[in-house]
C-alpha cells in the first residue's frame, strides 16, 4: 500500500511541476457513479450495487493521450443471513490510468482507457466477529466521452469494467464489476 501511495504522490508531483514545461491541459473533476459488484455472495448480502463518489486529476500528455489519477468512495449496508444484524462494506479504489482519445473534436471527445486499481476495503461486522480490513490490486477497461459545455467546463460520461479479486480467507471475492457514471470537471 505504501509503495502505491508513493507512486501516486510522485506522479502527481511530476504532473504539477511539469505544467510549465509541457503544453497539455489539466482536467480536475468529480464524479457520481453507480457501481455493481460482480460477486454473487456480495449481492446476496448487500444487494446489486450502490452509488460511488469520486474525484480525479487528468493531464494531457499529447492531444490524443492523457494520464489520470483518481480516488473513489463506495459504501453499502447489508445484513447477516440468519440473524439479520447490520453489516457495512466500504471500498476505496485508488486508480492510475491512461486514456486514448480522438483529438480536435468541437463538442465531444470519445476515449478508451485502461488502468490499475488499488482497492482498500473494509467490512464492519457485528461485535462478536472481527472486522475485515484488507486490500487488493485490480485493473479496468473503460470507454467514455467528454462533452464540452463551456470552454473550460465539461461533462464526462464513463462506463468501466473492473477486475479485482480479493482472497481474505480461503474463498475468492470478486470486488470488481461494472461502473457507469457522470462526472463534471474543469479544464485549465
| 145-158 per-position pLDDT tens digit | 999 999 899 999 99
> What letter would DSSP give residue 127?
T
Q: Using one digit for the tens of pLDDT, what is the confidence trace for 46-64?
A: 988 999 999 999 999 988 9
Q: What pLDDT does residue 122 have? A: 94
> What letter would DSSP give residue 67?
E
* Cα 16 to Cα 67: distance, rounded to the nearest angstrom: 13
Predicted TM-score (pTM) above 0.85: no
What are the extents of the domains in the chain?
37-187
Q: Using one digit for the tens of pLDDT, what is the confidence trace for 58-84?
A: 999 988 999 999 999 999 999 887 788
Residue 116: CB atoms within 10 Å: 15
Grid coordinates given for 82: 440468519
Q: Are 131 and 125 in contact (CB under 8 A)?
A: yes
- HSE at residue 172, side-chain half, CA atoms within 13 A, is 6
Grid coordinates given for 137: 490490486
Residue recorded with cell 501516486: 8
Interval 3-28 mean pLDDT: 63
Interval 151-174 mean pLDDT: 91
Task: Find out if CATH 2.40.160.20 is the number for domain 37-187.
Answer: yes
Question: Does residue 23 carry a pLDDT above 70?
Answer: no
How much is the mean pLDDT over the chain?
88
Residue recorded with cell 455472495: 41
Amino acid at each position: 500500500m505504501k509503495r502505491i501511495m508513493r507512486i501516486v504522490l510522485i506522479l502527481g508531483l511530476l504532473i504539477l511541476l511539469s505544467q510549465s514545461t509541457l503544453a497539455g491541459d489539466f482536467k480536475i473533476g468529480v464524479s457520481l457513479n453507480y457501481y455493481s459488484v460482480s460477486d454473487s455472495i456480495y449481492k446476496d448480502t448487500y444487494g446489486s450495487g450502490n452509488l460511488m463518489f469520486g474525484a480525479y486529476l487528468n493531464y494531457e500528455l499529447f492531444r490524443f493521450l492523457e494520464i489520470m489519477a483518481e480516488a473513489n468512495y463506495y459504501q453499502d449496508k447489508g445484513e447477516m443471513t440468519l440473524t439479520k444484524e447490520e453489516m457495512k462494506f466500504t471500498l476505496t479504489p485508488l486508480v492510475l490510468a491512461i486514456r486514448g482519445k480522438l483529438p480536435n473534436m468541437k463538442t465531444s471527445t470519445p476515449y478508451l482507457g485502461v488502468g490499475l486499481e488499488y482497492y482498500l476495503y473494509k467490512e464492519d461486522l457485528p461485535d462478536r466477529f472481527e472486522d475485515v480490513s484488507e486490500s487488493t490490486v485490480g485493473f479496468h477497461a473503460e470507454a467514455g466521452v467528454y462533452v464540452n459545455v463551456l470552454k473550460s467546463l465539461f461533462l464526462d460520461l464513463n462506463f468501466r469494467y473492473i477486475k479485482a479479486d480479493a482472497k481474505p480467507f480461503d474463498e475468492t471475492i470478486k470486488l470488481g464489476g461494472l461502473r457507469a457514471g457522470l462526472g463534471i470537471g474543469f479544464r485549465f
